[in-house]
């Protein structure tokens, strides 16, 4: 009910390149080649995230390109995750107590689950269609943890279960990674469960419960003298330590190269410093969220340039160190709290450390927020320590009720905004007035509502947020592109300052994905004769963008498209497209375009050679139709 208003909303931000403008996830039929093409069509990652893409294609086959059904599917996945999370939480709690009754673990587990499902920080994993990647990956993570805990309980009870531990770590990780790479953290999460709760033991106590009491020293002694299971130790060596070593050996040389950070406003060092503040922010945004904090767009985040710049960097590092120390200390006295805290920190290791990803995203806390709630809520709701202090119990329940009310209200109000594109754009722009993306999205929404009518009131309203976004130093060229696009479509004058600032930005910093998308949008508009753009300005823009070392295949192909279709310079078009093929040899779209260009120039021998190379990418027959059409364009040899 809380989420229902939001599923009537529209597409947003990365939904466009991944779904709306991605023809690969819009198959014409359910044939094997079409589905294979869908699985390999995601531009979000080099690993393609095929299972998530396949789910988008399935939605399209049944309901077309309707965001309602896409969001409803996301909501169904969230509900299913809630069921999995409830079962896992109840099982973890039962591992810590003698089985004295179902109610002992059921109600705290239901409390944690209900809170997690309405947490405001998790809203984007539900209503932001493309982040089905995150929620679907975590479905497999939760399933894997559920299987692992079940298997370890069986082993500790003297029954068979080792095979299930292996399956629970390998199969869900593999399936989850096919949705999003964050699922690779499953073995680490399981290791934390093992270290905190099961302690690599091979036997249980007589009453069927793990040896957990309030006596720290007794627990430590029990831990030291319990017999370890060497199979479990070996399992983590093979499934976690070895892959981690190999992965870091491959990754570190890449992230240490300066060019890996060329499209970012931060370096490896400043990223690590900044992420310390961000992790602390995530804790606050999870437990005490405010609409201003959960602004969706966080490109206005101020990067840490040193330990004391700002001072909150050092404070955050100390807080994280204290958080980790407390989690370790609580391992024996409050193992559930320790587990949750370590899960939260573990969830930040992939996206909050050395990878050159964007700094802040709320959906990265979809699993991490579960860890925080697991650490917080059972302690707040517990009665065992306050039997003689009714006032303390009342205070705890008051805090608990206040938090629940806060979470429900913030999520409900935000879901209401997500149900209407214009209201959402205005809401997010108000929440983040210094965010270039938020201001750009507001201007873009006004353009959509104007229907390219110069007399529409929305037309005049679009200029202010777009020009504000263009003036912000950390912005891409998206706002300039939108201003040029809008005025050109409406046959209104184009300001020289829009072109100048766009070209200057392209000269100053290597183009990112948004810059490439902007040039592609202007190219398409000019190619389709919707925009009369000065060719000298467009060429200057491409020249500035391509002046940086190792331009991307997408940028090269876009300039090839512009040169061929707008400049009528076929040699330049072929040369740029060839370079795009060389830069991304496993992307068939560039090779298909090149073959069509060669055929149009009657260079049939080169075209046939290119078709032979293309055939090597025809996995599962996904390119059968394209190759057949290309061959039809060539005369018989």
What span, in angstroms and rounded, lies between the C-alpha atoms of 60 and 344?
35
* Residue 213: per-residue pLDDT: 42
Place 98 in a pLDDT band, splitting at 50, 70 and 90. Answer: very low
Share of the chain above pLDDT 90, in %: 85
* Residue 475: per-residue pLDDT: 92
Residue of 443, 516, 432, 448 lying closest to 476 (CA atoms): 516
Angle between helices 496-508 and 478-489 (to 10 degrees): 150
pLDDT at 221 over 90: no
Average pLDDT of 106-110?
92
* Residue 291: per-residue pLDDT: 86
* Minimum mean pLDDT range among 183-187, 542-546, 624-628: 624-628
Place 366 in a pLDDT band, splitting at 50, 70 and 90. Answer: very high
pTM: 0.92
pLDDT tens digits for range 436-447: 999 999 999 999
Residue bearing the bigger pLDDT, 28 or 214 = 28
99-103, 283-287, 289-293, 394-398 — most confident range: 283-287
What span, in angstroms and rounded, lies between the C-alpha atoms of 512 and 77?
32
What span, in angstroms and rounded, lies between the C-alpha atoms of 311 and 537?
44
Average pLDDT of 8-36?
93
Place 394 in a pLDDT band, splitting at 50, 70 and 90. Answer: confident
pLDDT tens digits for range 571-630: 999 999 999 999 999 999 999 999 999 999 999 999 999 999 999 999 888 899 999 999
Average pLDDT of 495-509?
96
Share of the chain above pLDDT 70, in %: 94
User: What's the mean per-residue pLDDT of the chain?
Assistant: 92
Buried/exposed 542-578: b ≥16 CB within 10 Å, e otherwise = bebbbebeebbbbbbbbbbbbbbbbeebeeebbebbb
Is residue 547 within 8 Å of 585, Cβ to Cβ? no
* Residue 102: per-residue pLDDT: 54
Place 209 in a pLDDT band, splitting at 50, 70 and 90. Answer: very low
* Minimum mean pLDDT range among 5-14, 50-59, 81-90, 200-209: 200-209
Residue bearing the bigger pLDDT, 15 or 206 = 15
* Residue 285: per-residue pLDDT: 97
What span, in angstroms and rounded, lies between the C-alpha atoms of 438 and 559?
28
* Residue 95: per-residue pLDDT: 83
pLDDT at 484 over 60: yes
pLDDT tens digits for range 318-355: 999 999 999 999 999 999 999 999 999 999 999 999 99
Average pLDDT of 57-65?
96
* Residue 392: per-residue pLDDT: 80
Average pLDDT of 165-184?
97
The Cα-based distances of 127 to 23, 26, 246, 297 in angstroms read: 22, 20, 36, 15
Long-range contacts of 147-150 (CB under 8 A, 24+ apart): 147/172, 148/190, 148/193, 149/88, 149/91, 149/92, 149/95, 149/193, 150/91
């Amino acid at each position: 009910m809380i989420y229902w208003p939001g599923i009537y909303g529209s597409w947003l931000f990365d939904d466009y390149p991944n779904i709306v403008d991605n023809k690969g996830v819009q198959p014409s039929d359910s044939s094997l080649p079409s589905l294979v093409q869908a699985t390999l069509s995601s531009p979000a990652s080099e690993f393609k995230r095929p299972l998530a893409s396949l789910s988008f294609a399935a939605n399209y086959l049944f309901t077309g390109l309707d965001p309602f059904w896409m969001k409803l599917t996301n909501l169904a996945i969230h509900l299913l995750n809630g069921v999995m999370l409830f079962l896992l939480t109840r099982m973890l709690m039962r591992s810590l107590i003698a089985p004295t009754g179902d109610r002992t673990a059921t109600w705290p587990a239901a409390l944690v689950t209900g809170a997690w499902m309405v947490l405001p920080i998790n809203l984007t994993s539900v209503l932001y269609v493309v982040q089905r990647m995150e929620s679907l990956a975590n479905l497999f993570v939760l399933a894997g943890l559920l299987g692992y805990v079940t298997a370890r309980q069986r082993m500790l009870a003297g029954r068979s279960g080792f095979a299930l531990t292996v399956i629970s770590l390998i199969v869900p990780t593999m399936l989850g990674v096919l949705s999003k790479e964050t699922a690779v953290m499953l073995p680490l999460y399981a290791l934390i469960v093992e270290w905190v709760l099961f302690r690599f033991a091979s036997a249980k106590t007589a009453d069927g419960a793990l040896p957990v009491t309030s006596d720290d020293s007794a627990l430590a002694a029990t831990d030291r003298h319990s017999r370890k299971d060497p199979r479990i130790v070996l399992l983590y060596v093979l499934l976690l330590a070895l892959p981690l070593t190999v992965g870091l050996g491959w990754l570190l040389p890449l992230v240490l190269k300066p060019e890996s950070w060329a499209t970012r406003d931060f370096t490896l060092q400043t990223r690590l410093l900044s992420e310390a503040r961000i992790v602390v922010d995530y804790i606050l945004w999870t437990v005490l969220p405010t609409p201003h904090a959960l602004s969706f767009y966080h490109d206005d985040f101020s990067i840490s340039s040193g330990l004391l710049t700002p001072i909150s960097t050092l404070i955050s590092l100390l807080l994280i160190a204290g958080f980790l120390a407390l989690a370790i200390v609580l391992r024996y006295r409050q193992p559930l709290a320790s587990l949750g805290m370590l899960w939260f920190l573990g969830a930040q290791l992939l996206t909050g450390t050395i990878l050159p990803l964007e700094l802040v995203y709320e959906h990265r806390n979809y699993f991490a927020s579960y860890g925080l709630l697991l650490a917080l809520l059972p302690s707040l709701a517990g009665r065992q320590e306050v039997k003689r202090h009714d006032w303390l119990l009342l205070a705890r329940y008051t805090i608990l009720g206040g938090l629940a009310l806060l979470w429900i209200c913030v999520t409900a109000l935000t879901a209401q905004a997500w149900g209407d594109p214009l209201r959402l754009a205005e809401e997010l722009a108000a929440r983040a007035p210094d965010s270039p993306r938020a201001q750009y999205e507001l201007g873009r929404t006004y353009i959509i509502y104007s229907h390219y009518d110069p007399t529409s009131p929305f037309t005049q309203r679009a200029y202010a947020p777009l020009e504000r976004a263009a003036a912000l130093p950390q912005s891409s060229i998206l706002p300039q592109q939108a201003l040029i696009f809008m005025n050109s479509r409406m046959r209104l004058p184009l300001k020289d300052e829009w072109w100048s600032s766009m070209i200057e930005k392209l000269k100053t910093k290597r183009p990112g994905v948004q810059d490439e998308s902007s040039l592609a949008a202007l190219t398409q508009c000019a190619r389709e004769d919707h925009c009369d753009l000065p060719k000298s300005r467009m060429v200057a823009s491409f020249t500035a963008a391509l002046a940086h070392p190792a331009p991307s295949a997408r940028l090269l192909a876009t300039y090839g498209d512009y040169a061929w279709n707008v400049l009528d310079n076929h040699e330049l078009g072929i040369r740029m497209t060839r370079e795009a093929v060389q830069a991304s040899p496993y992307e068939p779209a560039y090779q298909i375009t090149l073959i069509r260009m060669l055929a149009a120039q009657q260079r049939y021998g080169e075209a046939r050679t290119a078709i032979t190379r293309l055939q090597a990418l025809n996995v599962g027959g996904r390119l059968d139709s394209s190759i057949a059409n290309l061959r039809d364009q060539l005369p018989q040899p």
